Amino acid sequence: MKQLGKLFSTVIASAMIFGLPSHAHADNHKAMDVPTIKASVVMSGLENPWDMAFLPDGTMFFTEKCKGLSVRTKNGTVNALYGIKDSKGYRDSGSDLFCEGQAGMLGVVPDINFAKNRTLYVYSSSTKYHGSGCKTNFEKCNGNIVMRFKVGNDLKSVSDRTDIVTDIQYKPFESNQPFGGPGAHNGGRLRVGPGGFLWVTGGDRHRGICPQDGQLLCGKVLRIDGDGNAHPDNNPPAGFDKRIYTYGHRNVQGIDFRPSDGRAFTSEHGPWHNDEITALVNGGNAGWDPAEKRGGRGACPDMYCGYEPNQKEGMNPAIRAAYTPMSDTRFKDLMPAAWNNNGYSQGTGSAAFLRGSNWGIYEGRLTVGIMGIGFGGTPPGSRIDIIDIRPDGLGISSVVRMPLEFSKRFRGLVMGPDNALYAATDEGEIYRITAEM
């Protein structure tokens, strides 16, 4: 009995000595400030939800590409506010608004002074300003606009639509390209940056001359005020439209501002090579130039070299990158990419910096939604990457795949006021992704 008691004491003592480190080992992630990440569905059954925008009380505006603008109030009620042409169930609609291919009702963001002025901005495709310029793919076709609305106090309606940008180009017809439908490379993300200015992202709409042309707004990032006027400090090259903050883009669907210094970063799709994240420089060139007969290239199908040298078959992405680079080093004002997805293009959508100490070591890192397209040997991989960008914006320190245990085509990412990341998927859901320490 005495011996049994001694043995029992020894076991207890051992557990006390060795048990504690063992417990600490099991919770090692806490010691490393790695948060526990969980995802839950906030909304489902939506039709191509594209973007969301929050008010401080949790009210969430959201767009569905081929339907329109809605709001989910803080108590969960959903009000359909402003639809595109022929959409059903909306309080109001725009007969000029339409969707086609990648185009439709896309970005949404509230004004920085929303509490006072109830102002909301929305990006959409529109027929209102086509004029006579959309007869072929090789004309200036003004088919994308930024609208300003006043939101009713009861969140049941919007009014006073004012089109503050009316001349972002659109691709009206099919062309001889792999993703050649109308509405291609349509950009469309809206965000409010430091100082309350509005940032608008564009795509090259499959027109070769767009990104490097100083008067066309396709393939550009704009920085404007709430009336659509250029920020006074924009510094594009001489002769350029003053609304242009950066140019030489292919298709920017992600933009956010680094919490530590307010610097703008974009994420954009690559052409079967090199999805890119880029730290923007005022007046800088992202280096995309798909025009034919430039950079050593000859003629290309429909005067667009974006999928060459072989747009019919899969081939080594590095060969494509050498032929039509995403970041062409022949430009002296090139903004080098911070990240290029290991040379692959899998379809980067949106981007959002993680804010809040609940994200632990990931706080301040950039999340990027990736649709996961895989062609010609490129591995598919729908996911959200968490990217630690170097302070100089010219490289990264690490990439971590967000541990969600499911794969979706992540189209829209935005931080909520609760320091959770909200993600819209092409499959039709909006997720709330939380982090806890």
DSSP string, 354-405: --SGGGGGGTTPEEEEE-----TTPPP--EEEEEEE-TTSS-EEEEEE---S
Minimum distance of another protein from residue 380's CB (angstroms): 4
Which of positions 130-189 make contact with another protein (CB under 8 A)?
A: 174-175, 177-183
Q: How far apart are CA 291 and CA 206, in angstroms?
A: 10
10 binds another protein (CB under 8 A): no
Minimum distance of another protein from residue 169's CB (angstroms): 18
Among 12, 13, 15, 41, binds another protein (CB under 8 A): 41
Say if residues 352 and 386 touch (Cβ distance below 8 Å).
no
Which of positions 72-111 make contact with another protein (CB under 8 A)?
A: 101-102
Minimum distance of another protein from residue 48's CB (angstroms): 6
Handedness of CA 401, 428, 339, 176 (dihedral sign): positive
Would you call 313 exposed, middle or buried from its count of C-beta atoms within 10 A (0-12, 13-18, 19+)? exposed
Minimum distance of another protein from residue 315's CB (angstroms): 11
316 binds another protein (CB under 8 A): no
Say if residues 386 and 435 touch (Cβ distance below 8 Å).
no
336 binds another protein (CB under 8 A): no
Q: Considering CB under 8 A, how many residues would be counted as binding another protein?
A: 32
Tell me which residue of 255, 414, 277 sits closest to 345, measured CA to CA: 277
Binding mask 347-376 for another protein (x = CB under 8 A): ------------------------xxxxxx
377 binds another protein (CB under 8 A): no
The Cβ of residue 220 has, within 10 Å, a number of other Cβ atoms equal to: 30
Minimum distance of another protein from residue 63's CB (angstroms): 14
Q: Which is nearer to another protein, 223 or 409 (CB)?
A: 409
Strand residues in 269-365 grouped as ranges (E) = 276-279, 337-339, 348-353
Minimum distance of another protein from residue 204's CB (angstroms): 16
Query: Binding residues for another protein, per CB under 8 A?
Result: 41, 44, 48, 101-102, 174-175, 177-183, 311-314, 371-376, 380, 382, 409, 411, 426-429
